[in-house]
Chain A
Amino acid sequence: MSESGLRRTTLTRRAVAALVLVAGAAGALAAQDLQKLGMRIVAADRAAAAAHDSILEIVRVMRNKRLPYDSIVTGAITLRFTSKDLSPSTRAALTRAGDATWERVEHGLGDAATRVAGRVPIVISDRTAASFISEARAYEYMSRLLPHIIDLGLPNMPGRSRGFVEPLNEAQAEDAMIDLVGSVASMDEPPALKVYVGDWLPAAGLNERNWNAAAIDLATTNASVARDCFAGSIPRCKSALGLTKVSDPYTEWYSPEDWRVIVSGSLNMGIVTEGRRDAMQACVAGHDMKECEWLVRERPASLPLDMDVRRTVVGLALELGGPKAYDRLVAAQGGSASDVLAATSGLGIDELVGQWRAHVLSATPANVRPRALEATAMLAWMLVFAFVAQRRRP
């Protein structure tokens, strides 16, 4: 073999060896990359799934926190929608409820209606009943099954929010809006009135339902002071309504017989000790009024008439006081609840309470016997059914 031939052969061998080495190294490298690649693919898949879930979560949060989409103004009331997912029928129902609310607020607050109703917008948002589910896929699935909820609230006052399942009941929406405007109206109320009726004023006047509820409460409460009021005593009405100073509510509001009724109501409730049970039996079965008094004084005395009944007095004062009544209510900052109500109505407190009592007694819901409209509807249905029945021959 010549020298050049030998050199070529050696080069070829070196090249093959290099190729083999490269090939071996490439094989080893390829095997390593595939393993890594596989791991990376798995990791990327996991990251993608996590990102997907995060995006869905962000979408869900954004849906609830979306910036105002648009607003509708009815009178001085602004309805601010925070979602464009609301159905046209829901938006229409809310608009009609807003119109009805404004009409009632204008009637209830007179000259101050625009100022109060326009002070804060009513925020309307939506969510599904599945919003408590944190897992994104489960949320997406459950949100199809569970109902859609419309929330009506005030900005920065989450406690006032009320939710309704779709389809929205217009009357309920109207009630909720009136409730919210009532909360706004109470922002400037005098401290004594805040204690008297809480953070809410009947801004939209009073309706038949409010008076009916007051009539039922007056007739059904277990307090002698309310029975005396029912029978005609104005001073006792004032006491029952919490408009006079009461030093001992147990004796001023309740009679010994009432104590017995209160104790009998709790006879079978909760766990009581043997001695206490004996005292209860002595009170209820044995008419032992000392035992009754001891048992009753262990608990706080409940109001003879509830807060909603008190609000009917405030509502009546606003109604009787005319267009400037709310302004006078706000101006009477230093007085007692009696003083504020007298100033609001422009009447003496006795006259106001007398008119309140007359309203309540005339509102007693005697609806056991069907009303004329109800009876007519029943007879009409009966005639329709009977008429259709005789159209078909066997």
Chain B
Amino acid sequence: MFRQVLFTQWKWARTELFAYTLGAFLIPTAILKITVNGLDDYSVGAMLTAVAAAGAFFVFLAFVCAIGLAVRPYLADQALKHVYSLSLPVPWATFLRYRFLAGAVLLVAPTIAVFMGAGLATMTAAVPPTLHAYPFGLAVRFYLSALEIYAATFLLQYVAGKNAVRVVLALIGVLVVLELGSRFFGTTDAWVWMWDHLTTLPGPLETLTARWMMIDV
């Protein structure tokens, strides 16, 4: 049953997975080649700036992969009003578990591409003697972060259904109102408070503020 769900999701997502994988493999090397080309082993500052830019690309890619893989199966189920999934001889919770796991397995493909792309980029660039390459560490961070974002999007999609976008907009609206209210009455700054809690351990977005560096000290 799981293999069937996995195969179906693979069929739906293979085109974009191919694009993600290709991007993860080639773009870091391209960024390094363009930005540090012509500089030598001692240009540490230029190297770290280029690597930070590549790091921003990896964060973006983790978001795109995770949201893409979470939304597509829901849209397919939603188009048939979930009749197919509810008619299967397994409980709904089990079916959803299969759906979730299938997406988590598919995320491995871009992760491998991140590992190989970062590895290729660090092998072809002149890494200064005081810096080190971390392609494996970066790939682990990519996978765990993508998995977390994927789970959050999956939750939003399967709990809020077709109102997911409205829920997100409503949350943003509530935050804006809270922020304006807090500004006017001089109380706690809602944005700062929320951002601090989300990006500090054990907050779910802590990974965004980490060092996504394929080459670092």
Contact = CB atoms under 8 A, between A and B. Distances in A.
Interface of A: 128, 143-145, 147-148, 165-167, 169, 215-216, 218-222, 226-227, 230-231, 255, 257-258, 260-261, 264-265, 285, 364-370, 373-375, 377-383, 385-386, 388-394
15 contacts: A145-B184, A165-B189, A166-B188, A215-B217, A219-B130, A220-B217, A222-B44, A366-B134, A370-B144, A374-B206, A383-B151, A385-B148, A385-B154, A386-B154, A390-B97
Nearest to A226: B130
Contacts of B141: 368-370
A380 B202 contact: yes
B201 interface: yes
Interface in B170-217: 183-186, 188-189, 192-193, 196, 201-204, 206-207, 210-214, 216-217
Contact of B42 (A167, A258, A388): A258
Given A390-B92, A394-B82, A227 B154 contact: no
Q: Which of A226, A257, A393 has the most CB of B within 10 A?
A: A393
Q: Which of A227, A285, A389 has the most CB of B within 10 A?
A: A389
Contact of A386 (B43, B137, B151): B151
A261 B86 contact: no
Given A145-B184, A386-B100, A390-B93, A378 B207 contact: yes
A390 B130 contact: no
Nearest to B204: A381
Contacts of A227: 42, 129-130
A169 B193 CA distance: 10
Nearest to A146: B183
A364 B217 contact: yes
Given A144-B184, A369-B134, A386-B100, A220 B155 contact: no
A373 B216 CA distance: 21
A215 B132 CA distance: 13
Contact of A148 (B93, B159, B186): B186
Given A258-B42, A388-B155, A388-B159, A368 B147 contact: no
Given A220-B217, A368-B138, A378-B148, A261 B42 contact: yes
